[in-house]
Structure 1
Amino acid sequence: MDELTLVVATPFKKKATSSLSIKDFEFALSFDLKWMAPDLASRIRDKAIRSRLLRLEGNRLIPAFAIEKIELPQGFKPSGNIFSEKTPIEELITMIAAKTGKTEKEAIAEINTHQERLGDLVDIEITALVVAKEKGCDIESIYQKLYDKVFNRE
């Protein structure tokens, strides 16, 4: 399971709710769980929204994945790597998994199956973009990054 997904899921699971206010989400990460400073909790919130793991409706955060399917490992704590940026394909894999309720491993397998059907005629990132679009993911935030990566090669 993706570390960001586990971090995002934890406040919802601990409070047994399907939505949290922004303040409650950040408070849970910072003070209840004592995982990070409030400014880092805000960064996690923003990263989760950009990755389409969370939706913002009014001032409420709503997970875009099935919280009940997430099992938190005993003694789980996020690593410092949680703040590193994902590559576009990693973001697409996360989106596909969240949208379909599958694991990231299953999302990767589906992308690979599509890639084989295309006979490796396109980059794997483009295949992931196609799969994400087919699954109904909002790819707008990743499209430009991927376009730049694929078409602005040196």
Structure 2
Amino acid sequence: MFLELIGTIFAGVALAGMVMLVNRLTGGRLPRWSAPVAAGFGMLSMTVFMEYSWFDRTTATLPEGVFVAQSIEKARFYQPWTYVVPYVDRFVAVDSLSVRRHADLPDQRMADLYFFGRWAPLKRVPVLFDCAEGRMATLIDGATFDDSGQVIDPDWVHVDDRDAVLASACGVS
């Protein structure tokens, strides 16, 4: 976040400096307000660029085996251009290398989900998926297993059959 702030300030100063240079080369023919307007335009443009490129920059750094299962686009009233082209504000990634199965429970899988947010810290959440029943349970507080390998008293949540996170976790071989 700090580096983005520095980049935004630098973009404003650079664009204002270019306008001042052009003004000097043209003999002062540009209006006095052109440099501050250029600085504001440069900072706004850099901010918009950083918002729209965050998702691609973040997913490019995901390690091997971690893939995006679902992304959530955002449109905000104070950013009117987002109604034309929404940007990805957060996404969920599945760690395919963390998928665990039990031989006696072939329809269940346990995997780590990573929740990424534009201005939020990364969260890792272990989740139990029941692929046959179309449900999932978070195991944030840990899990207790019985002798057969079944999780004792999970808090199941039924999800739609087309849920992208469930399909991603259940599709991992």
RCO comparison, higher one (Cα < 8 Å, 6+): 1
TM superposition score category, shorter chain reference: under 0.3
TM-score (norm 2): 0.24
Larger radius of gyration, structure 1 or 2? 2
